[in-house]
Chain A
Amino acid sequence: MNSTQSPGAAVRIENLDKYYGSFHALRKINLSVERGERIVVCGPSGSGKSTMIRCINRLEQHNGGRITVLGTELNDDVGNIDGIRREVGMVFQHFNLFPHMTVLENCMLAPMIVRKQPRAEAEATARRYLEKVRIPEQAMKFPGQLSGGQQQRVAIARALCMQPQIMLFDEPTSALDPEMIAEVLDVMVTLASEGMTMICVTHEMGFARRVADRVIFMDGGEIVEEAPPEEFFTSSRNERTRQFLSQVLGH
């Protein structure tokens, strides 16, 4: 649990609009995420769910509305952006590990050059988190020598080494072979049980059922429905949600 909680939501999104050229990718999104809350975002491809969480750490620039992260508003102030990115970890669909560095160096780089941690401290932290994601023995290998599941766990460890207050997951298991999905989800479940604030874009409905406080369904750039998992899976009111669920869960 994070003990140094300041008041206010972890993430507050108000009337968020995002365009790609003339394509309206996000339409007036409103979402508030409390500290320690676990949110699962799902929806058909192209529904804007990745775009939305990429706006939270400014990998995408929004065109309208307000995003406030940990009390700081995301605007053109580079200092704000860098400050928020330090506190928000992100895990990508394609891992995006740095291929020219070892696993350990991947985990140590940002704490050393962004947080200015001494090498010994950064290494101790990195080894601790590699232990946590259950691959301490791979520390000296390069990413290209690991399996997809192992790479994704390294990516989680790398994000955790910055000791972020919020973790964003952008379809973390979509690029994995089926037998590797479980090992990544296990790590995410552990993380959730320790009280990390998490926003996960994923189609793993079992994971949503197990850890989510709220499930959010997006379609066409809008939040169509949001509900606790029990309610979401058993009695969703919206036709589009029911159709999506029947497609995801149906076979």
Chain B
Amino acid sequence: MEMIVVAPSAPGRIEDLRRRFFARPLQALLSLVSLATMVFLAWKLLNWAIFSAVFTTSGGPEACQAAAGACWSVIAARWRIILFGLYPFEEQWRSALACVAVVVMTVLSCIPAFWTGRRIALVWGVGTALYYVLMKGGMLGLAYVGEEAWGGLALTLFIFVTTCLIGFPLAICLALLRRSELPWISHTTGLIIDGVRSLPLISILFTFAVVLPFALPQWLAGDKLYRVIIGSALFFSAYQAEIVRGGMQGVPKGQEEAAMALGMSYWQRIGRILLPQAMRNALPATINQFVISFKETSLVVIVGFFEILASGNAAYGTGEWRFAYVEVYAFIAFIYFVFVFSLSRYGAFLERRMSVGER
């Protein structure tokens, strides 16, 4: 006798839903109640955010306050403060262009085709120079604007990107030093990393912004903004160094031995064999660290910088829009979301790309 074996056919979508959520009466009831709650909440949110919301500034704050839904007029009226902070009104196009420069620089350096030493250096060099010239001016016919007037999104992006650009290479150096064969080097590095990690970020920012100028000669101290960036990069690198070191520990010892046996020098082994594999291991935690750092930029308000969150406070804080803080925070949250979510998705893309060749 011949037997014909047929794989059991997969249930249809409706049948699958019925089995999962409506198999027994009590289960069906719970499913229905949950569904109703979700629909209700979604309706309330949409109603507030869109259907009953006011979008134009024509009626002024009063008409807006009377509306049942969200008052997006506050954004229409105050978006410049949120995005550009205290930057002079007529010059704000420069701040906008500077934001674009930073975003383009970041996006370009995320594209694998730019991952050669020369191209990445070019992108970063041109990007930061463009940002600096646009923001600061004082040359090429642009009016001078001091760092104390920078603010909003442009400042948040600048602090985040420079923190990472300085902090990341520093983290790799610290991680390499910590696994040095010379005990006094590895122990000293370990002390530095653990020391920085045991301090709160706020205290480091405060020290670099306020205390350091007393300790350093004038010419070395530089502007407060750059000291704060150095402080935050140091903080970033202490955490990131441990992430990189963890990634290095995941690379089998045989990899370095094989590279040695082929006659590669220390830096060739680090650059071609150890780091590429270590970074792949460390990628999820690294993206995590980037996300945290992006959000931590809001702490610079402590030392007197108006990054995007503080600019938002200023946007609704002046009299007439005082009632519309929820809308302002929702708007800022949306901006954070766009950047952080893109970062996470990029991390997922990298993970897929790097896992090529693994079974």
Q: Which residues of A contact B (CB under 8 A)?
A: 57-59, 82, 85-86, 88-90, 92, 94, 96-100, 102, 109-110, 113-114, 141-145, 155, 158-159, 162
Contacts and interface: CB of A to CB of B under 8 A. Distances in A.
Interface of B: 252, 254-255, 257-265, 268, 272-273, 276-277, 280, 354, 356-359
Contact of A102 (B252, B259, B357): B357
A142 B358 contact: yes
B263 A143 contact: no
A94 B255 CA distance: 10
A145 B261 contact: no
Contact of A114 (B264, B277, B357): B264
Contacts of A159: 261-262
Contact of A96 (B258, B263, B272): B258
**In terms of DSSP, what is the predominant structure of the interface of chain B?**
helix
B252 A158 contact: no
Nearest to B254: A96
Nearest to A85: B263
Given A109-B272, A113-B268, A113-B272, 13 more contacts: A82-B265, A88-B261, A90-B258, A94-B252, A94-B254, A96-B252, A96-B258, A98-B259, A114-B262, A114-B264, A143-B357, A144-B359, A162-B263
A53 B261 CA distance: 12
18 contacts: A59-B257, A59-B261, A89-B261, A92-B257, A96-B255, A96-B257, A98-B255, A98-B258, A98-B259, A100-B276, A100-B354, A109-B272, A110-B264, A114-B263, A142-B358, A143-B357, A144-B359, A159-B261
Given A113-B268, A142-B356, A144-B358, A59 B260 contact: yes
Contacts of B356: 142
Contact of B261 (A90, A99, A143): A90
Contacts of A59: 257, 260-261
Given A98-B273, A100-B277, A100-B280, A85 B261 contact: yes
The 10 tightest CB contacts between A and B, nearest first, are: A142-B357, A96-B258, A110-B262, A96-B254, A85-B263, A90-B261, A86-B263, A114-B263, A144-B358, A144-B359
